[in-house]
Amino acid sequence: MEVIERIKAIAMDVDGVLTDGTFWWGANNEELKRFSFADVTGMGLALQAGLKLALVSGESSPAGMALVRRYAEKLKIADVYPGCHDKAAAFRDFTAKHGIDPRDACFIGDDTIDMPAMDLAGLAVAPPNAQADVRAKAAWSPSWVAGMGPCAKSSILFSMPRQREGSAMAETMKLSDYVMRFVADQGVTHVFMLVGGGAMHLNDSVANYPSCIMCATCTSKHVRLPPKHMPNTTIVWA
């Protein structure tokens, strides 16, 4: 909880974080990548809350770098490091530029090239389908896989402390995230949930809150078991 309160900036890889790590390559050398509107929305909210954002991409092809710059332009992200193969140096430059201690910043990565920057960050985050050694280094892994909104999850979570300070984005947040924040503020670390009954949003907020362990019970055998990227969740069959 204290780490989340401190986060003032988020730097992130692009391929394998904002995208699913694949690309379309046409016969005439066209290069296309798919991004998620969940990340677009989440990072937009983070910028409104005053968080600093940076894109740090190792993609060095002209088309790939152009896509990174276009994405940054769309989201109005001023700090962009395309074709970057020293992400630790980029992370230091980004935080120094804004007068932020690296320990008060987050880095989101999925591959070994991201690990030096993750070592510098106060909070290292990795999508659930990141490389195994990267996941092991990460302090938190959001439930949404790469290309499907992991940065949105992180951006919203780190923006929450600023909402209480009167941010205009407060009304756009999911109610269940507010509930979970209140519960965690009371010192609760273990939560027992009943699956079903329209509680899916609250289940999701509890299961993905870094400081809480969730145990869920249900009677239906059709409920999916917790995915591997939610190790803090246990289902007990009633």
Q: Where are the domains of the chain?
A: 2-163, 174-237
Reduce the DSSP state of residue 236 to 3 states and report it: strand
User: Which residues of the chain are under the pLDDT cut of 50?
Assistant: 1, 163-172, 219-238
pLDDT in tens, 169-201: 444 456 577 667 667 766 777 777 665 555 666
Class at the top of the CATH hierarchy for domain 2-163: alpha beta
What is the SS3 assignment for 211?
A: coil
Q: Are strands 213-218 and 233-237 parallel, antiparallel or unpaired?
A: parallel
From residue 8, alpha-carbon distances to 3, 82, 132, 142, 194 in Å are 10, 22, 27, 19, 35
Sign of dihedral through CA atoms 145, 71, 75, 12? positive
What pLDDT does 43 receive?
Answer: 83
Distances (CA, A) of 57 to 7, 36, 67, 69, 72: 21, 17, 11, 10, 11
Residue with tokens 């106060």: 122
Q: Strand pairing of 24-25 and 31-32?
A: antiparallel
Look at residue 205 in the predicted model and tell me its pLDDT. 73
> Which pLDDT score, from 0 to 100, does residue 157 have?
62
**pLDDT for res 158:** 61
